[in-house]
Structure 1
Amino acid sequence: MTDQVDARKPDALARVHDYIREGGYRPGDRLPPERQLIEQLELPRGALRQALEALERSGSIWRHVGKGTFVGDGAPDLEQEADTLIQMGRQLTPLRMMQARLCIEPALAREAAIHATGEAMAAIDRTLKRARAAATWAEYETQDDNFHRAVAKASDNALLLSFFDQLNRARRAVTWAAVERRNVRPSPDHSSFDEHDEIARTINARDPEGAAAAMRAHLKSVSARLFP
């Protein structure tokens, strides 16, 4: 059953991507409702949602609760933009990338504390639970990425989210030194757990300056571990 779903995901992603490109949709254009896309693309609801989530992570689309799904700035020239960001990432040192994150992510956390909806806060909390339940470092790192993006998305600002997605794509291209792992998964006292909890707590408390400070402290903690 799992193999069947996995085999269908690339096809669903390609279908939605082609639908946007061939339909002449431009950045800011609203896509049809999910029900209409299911009918037009002949996709199962689950496959469509997975494809939309992948496109949202890449910056090709963005979604606003109650308003719909919109084409993002990454859609028209996605491959060219991705290549540019990859090239940029390869030219950056890990330290420069952390400095860039320190400039951008505390501001996103501040905005999240002001604008986050209940749904956005619930999404942040889900990433925290999944990170603690991760069975491997790879699973944890996926949820770590998801946490930071959930905070960015909670800012409720499509432009800021687009900036974050571009930063994240460049980050993946940076050459990082291998980190020695003593365990197959993070230990329960892994420092990022409490740091993430504090970021989430201040966002939930509607404390903009506290959220910015918590994010800054977290990134500095990560930087200190990577660059002792």
Structure 2
Amino acid sequence: MGDTPETAANSSSALEKLRQLIQQHDAHPDLALPTERELAERFAVGRREIRRALDVLEEEGRIWRKQGKGTYVGPAAPVQPLALQDLPQQSNLVEVMEARLQLEPGLARLAAIRASKEQIALMQRLQERMNHLSLSDGDEHELWDSAFHRAIAEAAGNRLMLGLFDAVDAVRREPAWQHLRVQARTPARLDNYDDHHHRLVKHIAARQPAEAATAMREHLLALQQALIEAINFGDEEPL
């Protein structure tokens, strides 16, 4: 059985809260973060979701873990987006995709110009990780796909655009829409998306901004079409 809307967003929710916690610990890198059990209780999610979120943060270089010692912030503080206030709290998936189509090709273009070798290596690791995910595990797909796109957004080197990306991504991960995203996900489409991701990283690594922007736009248009078909299919279902 697939994840329910309530559980599907747990890993992404935990990741967002852990990013905020890491900001608070930046001034005290010698202090270990709370244990997985404590984090799970604090954020009201399962330990599996905490471990998954920590895996992403470790891959990003935000934290490091030592057996028997704990989890620590480092080695370097992450780039943080500017705080944006009074953003719209309600939207829909069609609006989200329209916003992504306006924002993310530009982020991919800037990433191809500005990404460091370390940031490109992170994209490559995240892209490789997504190649081996199970179709049935919607939680992992949401988590690693979001991390991949955020890595591109961060590599663009524009804090305002990164803040906008985070705002749009938070709306995209609305648990109530999880069933549509699951319905829109098929093996053939995932293979297509994997190809898009591979091309994105290739163009960014090759410093090809126009090609990177085009690949991102093609990817998002494919996602948009899949979601529209899922929405239309849902409208046709009997009550």
With the shorter chain as reference, the TM-score category is 0.5 to 0.7
Q: Deviations over 1:155-196 (max 9, x none)?
A: 12222212211221222238536356599x846962110011
3-state SS of the aligned residue for 2:180? coil
Runs of 4 or more, structure 1, over 6 Å off, are none
Shift of 1:94: 1.3
User: Comparing 174-183 with 159-168, which one deviates more in the overlay?
Assistant: 174-183
Instruction: Name the residue aligned to 1:61.
Output: none
2:117 pairs with 1:126? no
Unmatched tracts of structure 2, length 5 or more = 1-13, 37-52, 61-73, 230-239
Q: Deviations over 1:105-129 (max 9, x none)?
A: 0000000000000000011011111
Residue 154 of structure 2 contacts residue 162 of structure 2 at CA under 8 Å; is this kept in 1? Answer: yes
Distance in 2, matches of 1:38 and 1:217, equals: 41
Compared with structure 1, are the counterparts of its residues 17 and 118 closer, same or farther at alpha carbon in structure 2 (3 Å cutoff)?
closer
Distance in 2, matches of 1:193 and 1:14, equals: 26
Instruction: Name the residue aligned to 1:38.
Output: 29
Shift of 1:226: 1.2
Distance in 1, matches of 2:181 and 2:143, equals: 16
Instruction: Name the residue aligned to 2:228.
Output: 227
Distance in 2, matches of 1:15 and 1:227, equals: 33
User: What's the TM-score, normalizing by structure 2?
Assistant: 0.61
Residue 180 of structure 2 contacts residue 227 of structure 2 at CA under 8 Å; is this kept in 1? Answer: no
Residue 132 of structure 1 contacts residue 188 of structure 1 at CA under 8 Å; is this kept in 2? Answer: no
Residue 140 of structure 1 contacts residue 186 of structure 1 at CA under 8 Å; is this kept in 2? Answer: no
Letter in 2 for 1:208: P
Distance in 2, matches of 1:167 and 1:17, equals: 21
Shift of 1:213: 0.6
Compared with structure 1, are the counterparts of its residues 186 and 147 closer, same or farther at alpha carbon in structure 2 (3 Å cutoff)?
farther
2:110 pairs with 1:111? yes
Distance in 2, matches of 1:131 and 1:119, equals: 19
Letter in 1 for 2:132: A
Q: Percent identity?
A: 29
2:145 pairs with 1:144? yes
2:157 pairs with 1:168? no
From 164, 177, 180, the equivalent of 1:178 is 180
Letter in 1 for 2:162: L
